[in-house]
Chains A and B, each alone.
Chain A
């Protein structure tokens, strides 16, 4: 019934997330963008679940997985960002290009 709209919403959020991932210079904001993308995927999953109603509630279970993984990932990601900031006095991604040719 309202599937398309939710998919469009999820796509829009996903696109915003990508845009943020690719453009933002602040590490925290990049992580934020990644969160955004993950949440967009969640919306997608729930939307499909509501329409296709599987026996095992696959969509919802999967969404909970994603939330869990996202939480863990953000925790570690922010910890890394803080370590980087402590070592390099900067959270600007442009400054982190040491592994280059």
Chain B
């Protein structure tokens, strides 16, 4: 499932359960931090770490360029063949499912 859909479904579900929009937004922000942190934890060799370091530096050179952002997000970062965004998205969904 696409990241955008995961976020939309979570937000709509929590709204229907009576949570306020502000609480939902804050939770999404927290979940994003947890997802990024878990992405780091999953990296298990020098090659993967090196690849991800370069992605971060590359993005910071031009943070307004969303085309570049999309492209970097599609970079495969682990042995399973998952992209940067797929790993982030999986961790985000996993965290949402626990709430």
Partners in one complex: no
